[in-house]
Amino acid sequence: MCGIIGIVERNAAAPAAADTVVARMLRTLSHRGPDEEGCVSLPGVALGMRRLAIVDIAGGQQPFANENGTVHVVANGEIYNFPELKEELIARGHRFRSRSDVEVLVHAYEEYGEEFLTRLRGMFALALWDGRNRTFMAARDRAGEKPLYYAETAAGLLLGSEIKALLAHGGLSREMDLEALDQFLTYEYIIAPRTIFSTVRKLPAAHYLLYREGELSIHRYWDAAAVQVREWEEAEAVEALRATFGTAVRRQMMADVPLGVFLSGGVDSSAVAVCMRDGADGRRVSSFSMGFADGSYDERAYAREIAELCGTHHVEGSVEPDIAGLFDRLVVHLDEPFSDVSMFPTYLVSQMAREHVKVVLTGDGGDELFGGYDAYEAQALATRWAGLAPDVAVRAADRLLEFVPPTGRKKGMINKVRRFVSGLAGGPPAIAQYRWMTFLSAEAKGRLYSPRLQDALVSADVYRPARDALSRVSAQHDLLNRQLYADLSVYLADDILVKVDRMSMATSLETRAPFLDADVMELAFSMPGRLKIKGGTRKYILKKALEGMVPPAILARPKEGFSIPMKTWLRRELTPLMERLLAPARIRAGGLLEAREVARLIGEHRAGRANHAHVLFSLMVFERWREEFAGILI
C-alpha cells in the first residue's frame, strides 16, 4: 500500500522535475506510506511513492525497473496473483530482485504490453514509464479500490493518489467545477471523472491512461457489463460462489504483517470473517467493531457473536457525538466535498485497528453484487405501482407526509414511508433506484440554489451518470443486474470505496475487499437477478452459500448499514458547528446558495418538524471545504 505521484513533461527533452517539487508532492501522501519513500527522476519524467510495507518488507522498495532500466513503475495496492505471474514470467526469461508483488508489474508490462492489466488480480493504482517509446501509462483496478487523479497542464501531466499531491505541485487553478458541486449536493459525492476542481480529473475504475508526445488518451480494459449471464442451477451456483469467494479471501490474506477484519455482524463481513478463520493457517486474526450509544444504530452484539464463532481477537469502540474536531480534520483531509456520514465510524474503526494490525479485510461490495440495498426493493415496488398512483397523487402524498414528524430511530416504518414517497415524487423514473439514493430534488434546488448557480447549470444533467450506468448493460441482463451494475460503477466506486480508502489510509491502514476480487465479480454478474433477490430475501444466493458457516440468525438479519445518528446530533451537539458554517452572512458571501432557504432548513430540522440532515450536513461540508481550499472566510 502506497501513495504515488507522477510528473511527465510535454517536452520530452525537458529536465526531470526538481527534487524539491517531487518531495513536496510526496510529503502530502506520507499518511498513505509512512515507512519509506522512493523516486526516480529521468529527462522529462519523475515517479515517486510513499510506502506502507506489507509484502517483502526488507526488499520491496519502489520504484521497480526492468533489467536494462528502460521501464519503471510505482504502484499503490496489492497484486494477489503475483506468485503465479512471477513463475510465468521467470519461465519467459525475466529476472527478479525481490519477493515484492509490485515487481511483477514492470515485467508483465514488458512481456504483454497494455494487455498485462487483464492478467492482474488485485487492487491497485499504478504509474509506469516506458523510456523505449517515451510513453507514460497509469491504471486503476477493476472496482476502483485505489484512487488516481490527474491534471493536464501547459507543461505536461501530473498524477497522484490524492488531489492534495497535485495541488502541492503548484500552479494548478483551484477553479470550482459547478457541475461537480451539483453532483455532490445531489448524491453526497462526486462521480468520476469529475472532481470539485475543474483542472483535476479522476481516472475511472477499470481504466488506464496513456500520455505520449503530449497527447492524453483514456481506455477501459474491463467491464462487468461484458460478462455473459448463464442459467445456473441453484445448487451449482451455491458451490461455485462458496469456492470462488473462499479462494478470494485466502488470496487476500497475503501479507508479511498481522491481519484483521472489520466486523459489523452483518452478512458480508461475517462471510469474510468465517473464510479468514478457515484460511488462517494458524495465524491469529483480529476483528474490529464500532458501535453507538443509540441502540437502533448499534450492532456490536452481532459482531461479538461472529468473533466468538471465528475465535478472533475482538476489539470494540464507540462513536461519540463530540465529533466537531474530527469533522474539521476529515473534511479537509478529503480534498473535495464528500458527505457520507459513515466516514466518521470508518475513520474511528480504522484508527482503532491500526493499533493492532496493518491490514484488514472488509465486506465491501457484497450489497452491490448480490442485491443488499433497500433501494432495489423500493424500485421493484415502484415498478409494480406504476400506473396505479398518478403523479399528482404521489406529489400530494409527499406534501401531506411533510407534516408527519420523523422519528429519532435509524429507520422505522414512518421514516421508510416518507423516504419511499419522497423518492417517487422527487426523482425521475429513468434513474431507477437512484431515486432513493439522491437527496435534493429539482424543486428543492430551485429554492436552494442561487440564480448564479442555476444559470451555470442550465445545460447540465446531474442524473446522466446514473442513467448511463443503468443503460450500459446489454439486454441479456435483467433489471436487478442493471441496477447492481450501476451501483458497482457509481455508488460503490465513488462513495463507498472513496470513504474506505481515505479514512483507512488516513490512519496508515490497508483495507482489502474480497467481494471485489475479479473472479467473484465476474461470477456474480454471470448469475441472473432471480438468484440474488428471491421471495423477498435479499442476497439470496450468498446466504445459501453461507448456510452451515454463518449462524442462521445472522443470515436472517435485516441490513442496517454503517451509519450514525447525524439527524439527532445536528439538533444537539453539532448545532454550534452547523450555525457557524451555515450562518446567513457566510452563505450570502458565497453567492451560490440562498441564505433564507438554508435558514428555513435549519429551523425545521432543529424543531423536529423534518429531517434535513443529509442536506444540512452536505452544506456544512461544502462550506468547510470552501473555507479551506477557496479562501472564503466570514
Q: What is the pLDDT of residue 403?
A: 47
Angle 363-547-479 from CA coordinates, rounded to 5°: 60
* Rounded CA separation 258/314 (Å): 14
Give the residue ranges of DSSP H helices in 438-537. Answer: 442-448, 451-456, 464-472, 479-486, 497-505, 518-525
| Catalytic-role residue among 2, 39, 275, 310 | 2
Rounded CA-CA distance 25/167 in Å is 8
Phi-psi label, residue 291: left if phi above 0, alpha if psi -120 to 50, beta otherwise: beta
The arrangement of secondary structure in 2-221, i.e. its CATH architecture, is 4-Layer Sandwich (3.60)
According to CATH, the topology of domain 228-371+495-556 is Rossmann fold (3.40.50)
Residue 392, pLDDT score? 46
* Mean pLDDT of each 10-residue bin along the chain, 634 residues long: 91 80 96 94 94 88 94 96 96 95 97 97 97 96 98 96 96 94 98 97 98 96 95 97 97 93 94 92 90 70 92 89 81 95 93 96 97 88 64 49 54 58 69 90 95 96 96 84 97 98 97 98 97 95 96 85 79 93 96 98 93 96 92 44
Q: Which three cell numbers stand for residue 45?
A: 519524467
Instruction: Count Cβ atoms within 10 A of the Cβ of residue 249 and give its class: 0-12 exposed, 13-18 middle, 19 or more buried.
Output: buried
- Residues 227 and 526: beta-carbon distance below 8 Å: yes
Closest CA to 524 of 226, 207, 107, 227: 227
Active site residue 2: yes
Domain ranges of the chain: 2-221, 228-371+495-556
Closest CA to 8 of 44, 42, 38: 44
| pLDDT for residue 570 | 93
What's the pLDDT score for residue 320? 73
Residue 595's pLDDT is: 98
Question: Residue for cell digits 466506486?
Answer: 493
CA distance 46 to 24: 13
Phi-psi region of 69 (alpha: psi -120 to 50; beta: other; left: phi over 0): left
